Chain A
Amino acid sequence: AQKVTQAQTEISVVEKEDVTLDCVYETRDTTYYLFWYKQPPSGELVFLIRRNSFDEQNEISGRYSWNFQKSTSSFNFTITASQVVDSAVYFCALVGGSNYKLTFGKGTLLTVNP
Protein backbone atom coordinates (compact mmCIF):
# COMPACT_ATOMS: atom_id res chain seq x y z
CA ALA A 1 0.00 0.00 0.00
CA GLN A 2 1.11 3.53 -0.69
CA LYS A 3 0.63 6.51 1.57
CA VAL A 4 1.60 10.16 1.48
CA THR A 5 1.45 12.30 4.59
CA GLN A 6 1.50 16.08 4.55
CA ALA A 7 1.28 16.90 8.23
CA GLN A 8 0.99 20.66 7.72
CA THR A 9 -2.62 21.47 6.92
CA GLU A 10 -2.14 25.22 6.66
CA ILE A 11 0.87 27.53 6.74
CA SER A 12 0.78 31.31 6.80
CA VAL A 13 3.87 33.42 6.17
CA VAL A 14 4.73 36.99 5.38
CA GLU A 15 6.11 37.82 1.97
CA LYS A 16 9.86 37.24 1.57
CA GLU A 17 9.95 34.60 4.28
CA ASP A 18 11.29 31.15 3.42
CA VAL A 19 8.85 28.27 3.90
CA THR A 20 9.24 24.49 3.82
CA LEU A 21 6.40 22.11 3.06
CA ASP A 22 6.87 18.63 4.44
CA CYS A 23 6.05 15.35 2.70
CA VAL A 24 6.55 11.87 4.12
CA TYR A 25 5.75 8.79 2.07
CA GLU A 26 5.32 5.05 2.49
CA THR A 27 5.73 2.41 -0.19
CA ARG A 28 7.00 -1.15 -0.48
CA ASP A 29 8.17 -0.61 -4.03
CA THR A 30 11.87 -0.16 -4.67
CA THR A 31 11.14 1.87 -7.78
CA TYR A 32 8.82 4.80 -7.27
CA TYR A 33 8.29 8.40 -8.26
CA LEU A 34 7.45 11.43 -6.18
CA PHE A 35 5.67 14.53 -7.40
CA TRP A 36 4.73 17.98 -6.22
CA TYR A 37 1.72 19.82 -7.65
CA LYS A 38 0.48 23.35 -7.04
CA GLN A 39 -3.22 24.19 -7.01
CA PRO A 40 -3.77 27.95 -7.14
CA PRO A 41 -7.13 29.51 -6.23
CA SER A 42 -8.23 29.08 -9.85
CA GLY A 43 -8.34 25.34 -9.20
CA GLU A 44 -6.16 23.73 -11.84
CA LEU A 45 -3.32 21.37 -10.92
CA VAL A 46 0.10 22.61 -11.92
CA PHE A 47 2.95 20.11 -12.12
CA LEU A 48 6.09 21.28 -10.30
CA ILE A 49 8.52 18.38 -10.12
CA ARG A 50 8.96 14.63 -10.51
CA ARG A 51 11.74 12.67 -8.82
CA ASN A 52 12.49 8.96 -9.10
CA SER A 53 13.65 6.79 -6.22
CA PHE A 54 17.12 6.32 -7.64
CA ASP A 55 17.92 10.01 -7.84
CA GLU A 56 18.48 11.56 -4.44
CA GLN A 57 20.05 14.72 -5.71
CA ASN A 58 18.41 17.84 -4.44
CA GLU A 59 16.97 20.11 -7.08
CA ILE A 60 16.68 23.85 -7.33
CA SER A 61 14.50 25.75 -9.76
CA GLY A 62 14.54 29.46 -9.18
CA ARG A 63 13.03 30.10 -5.75
CA TYR A 64 11.91 26.48 -5.44
CA SER A 65 14.04 23.65 -4.08
CA TRP A 66 13.36 20.05 -3.17
CA ASN A 67 15.10 17.82 -0.64
CA PHE A 68 14.69 14.08 -1.20
CA GLN A 69 15.90 11.80 1.59
CA LYS A 70 15.22 8.08 1.23
CA SER A 71 16.56 7.41 4.73
CA THR A 72 13.67 9.34 6.23
CA SER A 73 11.18 8.74 3.36
CA SER A 74 10.77 12.45 2.90
CA PHE A 75 10.52 14.76 -0.08
CA ASN A 76 10.30 18.30 1.26
CA PHE A 77 9.67 21.44 -0.75
CA THR A 78 11.14 24.84 0.11
CA ILE A 79 10.11 28.18 -1.30
CA THR A 80 12.72 30.88 -0.79
CA ALA A 81 11.67 34.51 -0.50
CA SER A 82 7.99 33.67 -0.79
CA GLN A 83 5.65 35.85 -2.82
CA VAL A 84 1.91 36.44 -2.69
CA VAL A 85 1.57 34.49 -5.97
CA ASP A 86 2.87 31.42 -4.17
CA SER A 87 -0.39 31.26 -2.21
CA ALA A 88 -1.96 27.93 -3.15
CA VAL A 89 -2.59 24.39 -2.02
CA TYR A 90 0.45 22.19 -2.58
CA PHE A 91 0.15 18.44 -3.01
CA CYS A 92 2.78 15.80 -2.71
CA ALA A 93 2.07 12.58 -4.62
CA LEU A 94 3.58 9.13 -5.10
CA VAL A 95 3.40 6.39 -7.70
CA GLY A 96 5.10 3.10 -7.00
CA GLY A 97 6.15 0.19 -9.13
CA SER A 98 4.25 -0.20 -12.37
CA ASN A 99 0.72 0.54 -11.24
CA TYR A 100 0.79 4.14 -12.56
CA LYS A 101 -1.82 5.27 -10.03
CA LEU A 102 -0.92 8.50 -8.27
CA THR A 103 -1.53 8.61 -4.53
CA PHE A 104 -1.90 12.13 -3.17
CA GLY A 105 -1.34 13.63 0.23
CA LYS A 106 -4.08 15.80 1.71
CA GLY A 107 -2.32 18.97 0.70
CA THR A 108 -0.93 22.01 2.48
CA LEU A 109 -2.61 25.38 2.12
CA LEU A 110 0.06 28.05 1.92
CA THR A 111 -0.98 31.66 2.41
CA VAL A 112 1.61 34.34 1.74
CA ASN A 113 0.58 37.68 3.17
CA PRO A 114 1.90 40.98 1.82
Chain B
Amino acid sequence: NAGVTQTPKFRILKIGQSMTLQCAQDMNHNYMYWYRQDPGMGLKLIYYSVGAGITDKGEVPNGYNVSRSTTEDFPLRLELAAPSQTSVYFCASSPGTVNYGYTFGSGTRLTVV
Protein backbone atom coordinates (compact mmCIF):
# COMPACT_ATOMS: atom_id res chain seq x y z
CA ASN B 1 0.00 0.00 0.00
CA ALA B 2 1.85 3.08 -1.27
CA GLY B 3 -0.34 5.75 0.41
CA VAL B 4 0.35 9.17 -1.11
CA THR B 5 3.08 9.32 -3.75
CA GLN B 6 4.63 12.59 -4.84
CA THR B 7 6.96 13.07 -7.77
CA PRO B 8 9.53 14.44 -8.25
CA LYS B 9 11.26 14.67 -4.87
CA PHE B 10 13.52 17.51 -5.96
CA ARG B 11 13.42 19.96 -8.84
CA ILE B 12 15.21 23.11 -9.89
CA LEU B 13 13.33 25.43 -12.22
CA LYS B 14 14.35 28.59 -13.98
CA ILE B 15 12.20 31.69 -13.64
CA GLY B 16 9.34 31.56 -16.11
CA GLN B 17 9.43 27.82 -16.65
CA SER B 18 6.41 25.62 -16.03
CA MET B 19 6.07 22.29 -14.33
CA THR B 20 3.58 19.90 -12.80
CA LEU B 21 3.99 18.33 -9.40
CA GLN B 22 2.39 14.93 -9.38
CA CYS B 23 0.38 13.45 -6.52
CA ALA B 24 -1.32 10.08 -6.48
CA GLN B 25 -3.07 8.13 -3.73
CA ASP B 26 -4.28 4.56 -3.71
CA MET B 27 -6.57 4.68 -0.70
CA ASN B 28 -9.72 5.80 -2.55
CA HIS B 29 -9.79 9.00 -0.52
CA ASN B 30 -12.23 11.65 -1.65
CA TYR B 31 -10.35 14.62 -0.23
CA MET B 32 -6.95 15.75 -1.46
CA TYR B 33 -4.85 18.79 -0.57
CA TRP B 34 -1.76 20.69 -1.61
CA TYR B 35 0.28 22.53 1.00
CA ARG B 36 3.48 24.52 0.76
CA GLN B 37 5.96 24.82 3.59
CA ASP B 38 8.25 27.79 3.92
CA PRO B 39 10.87 28.05 6.68
CA GLY B 40 9.34 29.20 9.94
CA MET B 41 5.89 29.57 8.39
CA GLY B 42 4.28 26.20 8.86
CA LEU B 43 2.21 24.63 6.10
CA LYS B 44 -0.22 26.71 4.11
CA LEU B 45 -3.04 25.31 1.99
CA ILE B 46 -2.78 26.05 -1.72
CA TYR B 47 -5.70 24.11 -3.21
CA TYR B 48 -7.91 21.26 -2.19
CA SER B 49 -10.41 18.89 -3.77
CA VAL B 50 -13.41 17.12 -2.29
CA GLY B 51 -13.78 14.69 -5.18
CA ALA B 52 -13.11 14.13 -8.86
CA GLY B 53 -14.00 17.23 -10.85
CA ILE B 54 -14.24 19.49 -7.78
CA THR B 55 -11.45 21.80 -6.67
CA ASP B 56 -11.27 24.96 -4.61
CA LYS B 57 -8.75 27.55 -3.53
CA GLY B 58 -6.98 27.47 -0.23
CA GLU B 59 -5.08 30.21 1.54
CA VAL B 60 -2.31 30.82 -1.04
CA PRO B 61 -3.55 29.81 -4.53
CA ASN B 62 -1.94 32.55 -6.65
CA GLY B 63 0.48 31.21 -9.25
CA TYR B 64 -0.87 27.67 -9.12
CA ASN B 65 -3.53 25.58 -10.83
CA VAL B 66 -4.95 22.16 -10.11
CA SER B 67 -7.20 19.59 -11.68
CA ARG B 68 -8.84 16.43 -10.39
CA SER B 69 -9.95 14.21 -13.23
CA THR B 70 -9.74 11.00 -11.19
CA THR B 71 -10.06 10.10 -7.53
CA GLU B 72 -6.44 8.97 -7.45
CA ASP B 73 -4.59 11.93 -8.95
CA PHE B 74 -4.31 15.57 -7.95
CA PRO B 75 -1.55 17.35 -9.91
CA LEU B 76 -0.38 20.87 -9.07
CA ARG B 77 0.64 23.09 -11.98
CA LEU B 78 3.04 26.03 -11.83
CA GLU B 79 2.67 28.03 -15.04
CA LEU B 80 5.32 30.76 -14.73
CA ALA B 81 7.70 29.85 -11.95
CA ALA B 82 8.85 32.68 -9.69
CA PRO B 83 11.47 32.70 -6.92
CA SER B 84 8.63 33.16 -4.39
CA GLN B 85 7.50 29.65 -5.26
CA THR B 86 10.68 28.13 -3.91
CA SER B 87 9.31 25.90 -1.19
CA VAL B 88 8.61 22.36 -0.08
CA TYR B 89 5.29 21.09 -1.36
CA PHE B 90 3.24 18.44 0.38
CA CYS B 91 0.28 16.59 -0.99
CA ALA B 92 -2.17 14.96 1.41
CA SER B 93 -5.38 12.98 1.28
CA SER B 94 -8.17 12.08 3.67
CA PRO B 95 -11.33 9.99 3.41
CA GLY B 96 -13.50 12.95 4.37
CA THR B 97 -13.99 11.75 7.91
CA VAL B 98 -11.61 13.37 10.36
CA ASN B 99 -11.44 10.33 12.58
CA TYR B 100 -9.49 8.57 9.88
CA GLY B 101 -6.89 11.29 9.73
CA TYR B 102 -4.74 12.59 6.96
CA THR B 103 -2.02 10.90 4.91
CA PHE B 104 0.85 13.05 3.68
CA GLY B 105 3.24 12.45 0.84
CA SER B 106 6.98 12.73 1.38
CA GLY B 107 7.18 16.17 -0.21
CA THR B 108 8.71 17.86 -3.25
CA ARG B 109 11.51 20.36 -2.73
CA LEU B 110 11.30 22.99 -5.47
CA THR B 111 13.87 25.70 -6.10
CA VAL B 112 13.23 28.48 -8.61
CA VAL B 113 16.36 30.32 -9.78
Contacts and interface: CB of A to CB of B under 8 A. Distances in A.
Given A100-B31, A100-B96, A102-B33, A50 B42 contact: no
B61 interface: no
B106 interface: yes
Most buried by B among A102, A104, A105: A102
Interface residues of A, number: 21
A24 B72 CA distance: 35
Interface in B65-113: 88, 90, 92, 94, 96, 98-99, 101-102, 104, 106-107, 109
B42 A44 contact: no
Interface of A: 4, 6, 9, 33, 35, 43-45, 47, 50, 52, 91, 95, 100-107
5 contacts: A43-B88, A44-B106, A101-B33, A101-B45, A106-B40
B94 A100 contact: yes
Given A33-B98, A100-B98, A101-B58, A43 B106 contact: yes
Nearest to B30: A100
A102 B58 contact: no
Contacts of B35: 104
Q: Which of B45, B94, B104 has the most CB of A within 10 A?
A: B104
Given A9-B40, A50-B101, A106-B40, A44 B107 contact: yes
A4 B102 CA distance: 18
